[in-house]
Structure formats: C-alpha cells, structure tokens
Chain A
Amino acid sequence: MSESVSVPNQIDLVDLTETKPKTSKLYSDDESDHESENENDDMRDIVCPICKTSRYLSPDMKFLVNPECYHKICESCVDRIFTLGPTKCPYENCNKILRKLKFKRQIFDNIEIEKEIDIRNKVYKIMNKLEEDFETRKEYDKFLEDREDVIFELSNLDSNNEAQIENVEKKLMKYEQMNKRLIQVNKMKLKNQESKQNDMDSVQQNLEKERLALIKQMEEQNLEDNQTYKQKIIAELSKGTDKNKIIANVKMEIKLKKSSQRRKLEELNKVLKSNSYSYNHFNKFQENSNEEFADVPFTPFNGDRELHRKYKVLEDHQLYYDPFISNLGKVSKYVANGFNEKSIYDRLLNEAFLGFGVFIEEEKSK
C-alpha cells in the first residue's frame, strides 16, 4: 500500500465515486462540455452507433455502458432493445448477453479505468477484510497486495483466453467460500462505518452553518450597534452631562456585548475542531509496533539534547538588568532580526555551560 505524496492514489478515487455519486460529475465525460472543446475529434461519439441519432438533433441524449462489454449505447436504444429481457449486445461481433438492469452511466472518460474500477468494486466486496482482522501490519499489507494482484489479473485478462478467466474466477470463488462468514460480518461493519461517517458529516455541516450564521449575525449587529450607539451618545450629550463619562459608559456596553458573542463563537469553533472526524486505522498497529520496537523508543532528537540543563533562564528578567543587552532590544536592526532578550541570555548561558560535565579522558577511553 504505497501512499505517494504527490499523486492521489486510485483507491481514493474509488471511494469518492462510491460514496458520493454527486461528485462523479468531476470525472464523468460531461458530454456537453467536451464536445464544445473538440467537436471535430468526437463527431462519431455524439452519434449513437445503433440508432444513429445525433446529439445535434436530440441534445439530452445520454450514453450508457454495460460492464459486460463496455460498448456505448444511447439511453433510448437501451430502453428499446432490452426492455423485453436480456438480449445480445447490438454491436457487431459482440456476442455478450446484456441485461437492462446492469446498464450504467460511464463515469471515467477512459474505458480501461472504468473497467478497472468496476472490477475493483467487485473484488472489494468479496475480499473485504479490515485492518482489525489481522494480527500484524505485515499480514495486512500482504492481504492488500494479494487483493491488488487479483484486481490486476482480472483487469488484464485476455477475453479470449477462457482458461485464464476461469482460473482467476475460481480463485475468487474459493476465497469467497472460505471466508463467507467474515465477508458478511465486514459488510455490516463497513455499512455501519459509512452511516457513522455520514452522520458525522452532517453534524459537522450543521455546526459549520451555525458558525457562519453567527459570524454574519455579529457583523450585522456591529453595523447596527455602531449606529444606535452614535445616536445614544448624541442623545445623552444633548442632556448635557459629563461627555467623557458618557462615551466611556457606552464603550463599556459595546465591549460587554461583543465579548459575550465572541465567547459563543469560540465555543463553536472548539466544538468544530474536537468533532472533526479522524478515525485512526492504525491505532491498533500503534500498540503492536510499540511492542515490536519496545527496546528502541522513537525520539525526535535521538538523544542529542540536554534534557536536564544545569542552569535555568528566569522568566522575569527584571531580576537581572544588563543595560547593554536591554538597549539592543531598542535598536531596530536587532528587532528586525527577531531579537529576544530571553533567548540571548539562554544562548549566553548555554555557551558558558557548554562542555561542563564532559570528561574528555573518560570519553576517549570508551
């Protein structure tokens, strides 16, 4: 399961198309768009090869394919030919028997990809073991690899080589029979997981909506408030009391109101953040791998850090005043370079203590 950083892997694409059919538009050959770009190239594509209806005459014509042979047929032809029951594919020399039920819209432009995705989905349904069904990560990876092998074999079959097809299908059947119960169990699990994910998504969406509404409300309120306060100030001033006091009072009022709203927003933000759905598949492996490498714990520094320093930099540097160093903090070129009094003291002390507690003779004898 190599997960490359720059290239999105195919499995992701499958998931997308599977769970959210709406997004499939992204990858579908959205015919109308395509043809405007390369009208000349695709002239034959816009004519149904069966009934010869052209897109030009019936603009809402749609093409369907059947996963048996992946030949393009327009929707009305499918209705016409297959309503009475399964029949042969109307393409010449294609003797596949097709059923109306199996026809679907083509999602990917490239028929090879379309084909592979279908095979993938089919295999995933059968070989659906989950991480938790394995003891170690290695075994799980082995399973994933085997699954990819089956998919690869199936999608690269020579359609004329009957024996080969039979061989692979037999393998799959065997697996299915051997793991019948587990497949059922995992099917349920996956279903649950999916519905859980959907629930989480909708909750998240609602929260986000609420947050945006609140922000908008705050903005509107702000505008409104500014005006009413202005009027208030004018009204109060006309009564002729101390003007500074009035303005201060009104300002205070604004502040209180704003802070209560802000607090609400912050709370919502927090809920949003903590609710973000992140299911860690490797929680289990985390434990395992920790056991495996128990004698070499992972540390970012690899021991190259002094954890117990021999000195401490005081937080309050009023206790020690060095006019030279504090004055540097007022020189703009030092400030521009991120001058920080504390880090200067830290560095100076570090230098002073560097090498303390190191016994050269001892180290050499090692």
Chain B
Amino acid sequence: MSELFVKEKKLGEGTFAIVYLGKKKQQEGEPKDEAYVAIKEIKLDLMKQSDTGDNMGIDISAIREIKYLQELKAHDNIIKLYDVYSDMKTNSINLILEYLPMDLEKLIKKKTIIFNSMDIKLIVLQILRGVNHLHRLCIIHRDLKPANLLIGENGLIKLADFGLARTYDDGGINSHSNLTNNVVTRWYKAPELLLGSKNYDFKIDIWSIGLIIIELLIRVPYLPGKDDLDQLNLIFKVLGTPSEKDWPQVKALPNYNTNLYMYPKPNRQEWRKRFIAISDNFLDLLMSMLEMNPGERWDIVRCLESEYIREFPRPSDQMELVRLMNE
C-alpha cells in the first residue's frame, strides 16, 4: 500500500506522529493525480514500551482517531480520511487525510486580515455545524482549539485531531466514572474539568467553542492560564467565582476549594463593556456558552437555534474566507 503515496515534505510533528505533505503516486495507465494529501504517520516504536517495558501495542488515541474519522468523514465540516495503511518498513500506521493548508490559529494570528461581522458568523456557524454532527452521534471531541480547526482551500472549516474524542454511550450514566479530566488544551478547558469532574458531558466542547469565538473577536487567547490552577483562577476572575447558588453541588467536585476568593459574576452590562462591537444576540450566545454551570450552559442544538445565527446579516460566502486567506 505504501507505494501508492509519496511523502514530499514534513509539515509538523507531535509526540507519536509526524505529518507529511504527500501526493498519490502515478500508476501506469492511470491519469496523474495532482491533488495533495496529508499523511499522518503514527510511529509504533515510540509507543511500544511503557515504563515497565511491556509491549503496549497501538496507542488508544490512534485507534480513536481512525474510528471516529471513519464514522464522521461524510460531514462537510469534518476532515476527510481517505485511507489507512500500515508500513512495515518504518513500523508505523499511516492515515491519508485531506490536505488543509490553513488553520484557525494561523488565521487569527495574521493581523493583516480583518474580519467583518459576516465573516465571523460564517466561521462560528461552521464550527457549530461540525460539533453538532459529533454531538448528534454521541461523540465528544475533547480537544477543541483554534489549531485543531483547519480550513480548506474552498473556505470550509473542518474539525480535526480526534485523538482525544470518545463516545458518550449509555446516555452517559454507565461510562461516567471512567472519563478522565485530563483532556482539552488548558486555555480551552471548561471549569468542571479543572475542578476535577469525571462525569462531564458534551458541554465541555461548548465551553471551548465559546472561548474560540472570543479569540476570533479579540485576536488573542481570552483566558491564557499558566497552569491548571492559574487557569481556574483566571476563569473565576473573569467570569465570577461560582457559588452553590448558581452552580448547585459545585462544592462536591474534587478540586473545589472552600477558601476560594469570591470574584463577582459579571452582569450583562459588564459583558457589554468587554465586547462593544457585537450584536445583542451574539452577546447572549457568548454568555450562554460560557455559563459556569454545565447544566445551564446551552447545548449545541440551542446554540445553532440562537437568534444570532438567524439574525441579519447573514454569514458571508465561503469564497470570502478564501479571499481573506489569500490576502
């Protein structure tokens, strides 16, 4: 199988995987296929040994990635997996993925690009649609951040990196105690995760999206904590320390410290002051996505049904995003 694709250039490297830019090899009698693909090479040697030297086999994150990508690839806003093959020579598993040249992090950092409200809406809408598809099929992404939102040459935004995703089966009641709270990149971690909850649900993704949207507006990470403790403190400072009143049973969470400094919860006016240029409905959406209590936080369906999505102006055309990207 490995002869079908050629790796051309290294694009990036993670702990267990290297991503290459590649192309389909020309076969005899077949027309030449010029389209680029991304090849994610997952090294088996590296993950083979645990601390005790036992053979660990394939890492669970690789299995998850393959499993969820195969299940979800039909959706527009999710990265496409074309093929999977194992390579004996390099002892690795290779995922052939759609090549997407841009990601939201790069787009946000490129200060020469100015988004208007329609462009913002287009991006928000596409993220919500992608996540809606996951949640509909009972999958939590658990690592939503700008760097994992890739943008294709056609202006479509696609969720990628399903290494931490998992199914939330049995309505979430049986598998509950098995969830680990060590997920999601720190800056986008929901408060219940930081408080050590192991029974969280889809709402942690909503929190991450809320912060991504704000980052899109202000062009810098909104809550950049230095470590998990600092992150929690920062969240409370900016969004108010939750009390038993607005988050029932919060004290029951493992990391809840009763000696917390009680920062006041910002009211609507305060929110308004922080985000002057956005519409009232947009502000409602943000406030509801960053609701501390997961029970009160909107779910993905409610977010997509929000007035902000339906109000005018309509989201701009995808081509607009392409134009911005190439500027």
Residues of chain A touching chain B, judged by Cβ–Cβ distance below 8 Å, are: 2-8, 280, 282, 286, 289, 298, 300-302, 304-305, 324-325, 328, 332-340, 344-345, 347-348, 350-351, 354
Interface residue? B243 (CB, 8 A): no
- Given the known interface contacts A4-B114, A6-B218, A338-B293, the answer about A328 and B173 at a Cβ–Cβ threshold of 8 Å is yes
Write the chain A residue with the least CB distance to B301. A305
Residues of A within 8 A of B137 (CB): 354
Residues of A within 8 A of B170 (CB): 348, 351
Q: Are A5 and B203 in contact (CB under 8 A)?
A: no
Interface residue? B115 (CB, 8 A): yes
Q: Are A325 and B173 in contact (CB under 8 A)?
A: yes
Q: Size band of the B side of the interface?
A: 35 or more
Residues of A within 8 A of B309 (CB): 300
- Given the known interface contacts A298-B314, A304-B136, the answer about A6 and B217 at a Cβ–Cβ threshold of 8 Å is yes
In the assembly, what is the distance between CA of A255 and CA of B304, in Å? 41
Contact of A336 among B128, B138, B173, B252 (CB under 8 A): B252
Q: Are A337 and B294 in contact (CB under 8 A)?
A: yes
Q: Which of B116, B128, B219 has the most CB of A within 10 A?
A: B116
Interface residue? B148 (CB, 8 A): no
Q: Are A348 and B171 in contact (CB under 8 A)?
A: yes
Chain A proximity of B229: nearest CB distance (Å): 19
Q: Are A301 and B129 in contact (CB under 8 A)?
A: yes
Chain B proximity of A339: nearest CB distance (Å): 7
Chain B proximity of A3: nearest CB distance (Å): 5
Interface residue? B295 (CB, 8 A): yes
Q: Are A347 and B171 in contact (CB under 8 A)?
A: yes
Q: Are A3 and B125 in contact (CB under 8 A)?
A: no
Chain A proximity of B244: nearest CB distance (Å): 10
Interface residue? B250 (CB, 8 A): yes
Write the chain B residue with the least CB distance to A339. B295
In the assembly, what is the distance between CA of A334 and CA of B199, in Å? 7
Contact of B294 among A328, A338, A347, A350 (CB under 8 A): A338
Q: Which of A5, A286, A328 has the most CB of B within 10 A?
A: A5
- Given the known interface contacts A4-B115, A6-B219, the answer about A333 and B171 at a Cβ–Cβ threshold of 8 Å is no
Contact of A344 among B129, B132, B172, B277 (CB under 8 A): B172
Write the chain A residue with the least CB distance to B201. A337
Interface residue? B241 (CB, 8 A): no
Chain A proximity of B237: nearest CB distance (Å): 21
Contact of A332 among B125, B252, B296 (CB under 8 A): B252
Contact flags B195-238 to A (C-beta < 8 A → 1, else 0): 00111110100000000000001110000000000000000000
Chain A proximity of B276: nearest CB distance (Å): 8
Residues of B within 8 A of A282 (CB): 312-313
Q: Are B197 and A337 in contact (CB under 8 A)?
A: yes
Residues of chain B touching chain A, judged by Cβ–Cβ distance below 8 Å, are: 75-76, 114-117, 120, 125, 128-129, 132-133, 136-138, 168-173, 176, 192, 197-201, 203, 217-219, 247-253, 276-278, 293-297, 301, 304-305, 309-310, 312-314
In the assembly, what is the distance between CA of A299 and CA of B32, in Å? 39
Instruction: Please give me the 5 A-B residue pairs with the lowest Cβ-Cβ distance, nearest first.
Output: A338-B295, A332-B252, A338-B294, A348-B171, A347-B171
Q: Are B173 and A301 in contact (CB under 8 A)?
A: no
Q: Are A289 and B218 in contact (CB under 8 A)?
A: no
Q: Are B199 and A333 in contact (CB under 8 A)?
A: yes
In the assembly, what is the distance between CA of A2 and CA of B115, in Å? 9
Residues of B within 8 A of A338 (CB): 201, 203, 293-297
Known: A298-B314, A335-B249, A351-B170. 17 other contacts (CB 8 A): A2-B114, A4-B114, A5-B117, A5-B217, A5-B278, A300-B310, A305-B301, A325-B173, A336-B199, A336-B249, A337-B197, A337-B200, A338-B293, A344-B172, A344-B173, A351-B169, A351-B171
Residues of B within 8 A of A328 (CB): 173
Contact of A335 among B120, B200, B252 (CB under 8 A): B252
Residues of A within 8 A of B247 (CB): 336
Chain B proximity of A198: nearest CB distance (Å): 23
Contact of B132 among A304, A335, A347 (CB under 8 A): A304
Chain A proximity of B34: nearest CB distance (Å): 27
Chain A proximity of B32: nearest CB distance (Å): 28
Residues of B within 8 A of A354 (CB): 137-138
Residues of B within 8 A of A332 (CB): 249, 251-252
- Given the known interface contacts A282-B313, A336-B248, A337-B295, the answer about A300 and B125 at a Cβ–Cβ threshold of 8 Å is yes
- Given the known interface contacts A286-B312, A345-B171, the answer about A335 and B248 at a Cβ–Cβ threshold of 8 Å is yes
Chain A proximity of B296: nearest CB distance (Å): 7
Residues of B within 8 A of A304 (CB): 75, 129, 132-133, 136
Write the chain B residue with the least CB distance to A348. B171
Contact of B197 among A7, A298, A336, A347 (CB under 8 A): A336
Residues of A within 8 A of B176 (CB): 334
- Given the known interface contacts A304-B129, A304-B136, A328-B173, the answer about A340 and B295 at a Cβ–Cβ threshold of 8 Å is yes
Residues of A within 8 A of B305 (CB): 300
- List 7 A-B pairs, Cβ < 8 Å: A5-B116, A6-B217, A305-B132, A338-B294, A338-B297, A344-B172, A348-B170
Write the chain B residue with the least CB distance to A325. B173
Residues of B within 8 A of A347 (CB): 138, 168, 171-172
In the assembly, what is the distance between CA of A151 and CA of B84, in Å? 59
Q: Are B192 and A337 in contact (CB under 8 A)?
A: yes
Residues of A within 8 A of B276 (CB): 8
Contact of B277 among A6, A325, A345 (CB under 8 A): A6
Residues of A within 8 A of B297 (CB): 338
Residues of A within 8 A of B295 (CB): 335, 337-340
Residues of B within 8 A of A8 (CB): 276-277
In the assembly, what is the distance between CA of A294 and CA of B297, in Å? 35
In the assembly, what is the distance between CA of A305 and CA of B278, in Å? 28
